[in-house]
Amino acid sequence: MAQLYYRYGAMNSGKSIEIIKVAHNYEEQGKSVILMTSALDTREERGTVASRVGLSRNAHVIEADSNCFDMVKSIDPDASCILIDEAQFLSKQHVLQLAKIVDELSIPVIAFGLKNDFQNNLFEGSQALLLYADKIEEMKTICWFCGRKAIMNLRFHDSKPVYEGEQIQVGGNESYYPVCRKHYFNPPMEQMGK
Ligand SMILES: [Zn+2]
C-alpha cells in the first residue's frame, strides 16, 4: 500500500541530501521518481533540491495555484515515488492533492520539511501534513550551540536573534539556525560565528 510520509526536521537536518539519496536508490533499480519543491524556496534557485554538502537535482516547481495531482499525472503517472522538498510552504490544498496521489494513483509520496516556523507556529503545509500523513518521522540534528537535539529554528537578522516578523521572509538578510529550546530563548551570542 502506498502511503503519504511526512519527514520533518529542523534546519540542517539533512532533508535535501536524503531526497537526493532516496531518488538515487530508486533510479539505481530502474524506477522513476518525481522531485518537486515549493516555489517559495528562498535559499536556492527555483526548481532545485540542493544539499549543503554540494549535491543538487532539478525539481518540478509547485506554484501557489499548481495542482500536484494533475502535475504528477502529466509528468509520469507510473512514477514509483514522489519526493517533495520544502513541504512546509505547501498549502493545505496541495497536501490534499498529495494524499490523492497516494490514494488514487497508489504512488508513495514522501514530503520533507520544517515543522516549526521561527516563532514556533506550524507552517500551513506542516500542519496539513501532520494531520493527513500516514507516517510521520522526525529527522534529527543537533543544536547549533550544544549537543542536544534541535527542535526549533532561530532566525537571525544582522547577527541578532529575532522573534517577530513575517513567517516567510523573501529576499531578506535572514539566516536560520537549528537550536534546542533552551538556546532558542537564550542563544549564547559569544558562540556565534564559530
Ligand atoms: Zn542548545
Q: Does the pLDDT at position 79 exceed 90?
A: yes
How far apart are the CA of 150 and the centre of ligand 1, in A? Answer: 7
How far apart are the CA of 180 and the centre of ligand 1, in A? Answer: 4
How far apart are the CA of 28 and the centre of ligand 1, in A? Answer: 39
pLDDT of 173: 75
Active site residue 86: yes
**Percent of the chain predicted with pLDDT > 90:** 80
pLDDT of 174: 83
pLDDT of 171: 64
pLDDT per residue as tens digits for the range 152-161:
999 998 889 9
pLDDT per residue as tens digits for the range 169-186:
766 678 899 999 999 999
Residue whose C-alpha is closest to residue 10's, from 156, 191, 162, 139 = 139
Give the active site residue among 18, 45, 63, 86: 86
Q: Write the DSSP assignment of the chain as a string of letters.
A: ---EEEEE--TTSSHHHHHHHHHHHHHHTT--EEEEEETT--SS-TTEEE-TTS-EEE-EEE-TT--HHHHHHHH-TT-SEEEEESGGGS-HHHHHHHHHHHHHH---EEEEE-SB-TTS-B-HHHHHHHHH-SEEEEPP-B-SSSSSBP-EEEEEETTEEE--S-SS-SSSSEEEEEE-HHHHHS--GGGTT-
pLDDT per residue as tens digits for the range 104-145:
999 999 999 999 999 999 999 999 999 999 999 999 999 999
How far apart are the CA of 57 and the centre of ligand 1, in A? Answer: 32
How far apart are the CA of 141 and the centre of ligand 1, in A? Answer: 11
How far apart are the CA of 22 and the centre of ligand 1, in A? Answer: 30
pLDDT of 41: 63
Q: Does the pLDDT at position 193 exceed 70?
A: no
Grid coordinates given for 86 = 520544502
How far apart are the CA of 99 and the centre of ligand 1, in A? Answer: 35
pLDDT of 88: 97
Looking at residues 35-62, what average pLDDT do you find? 85
Residue whose C-alpha is closest to residue 72's, from 48, 36, 96 = 36
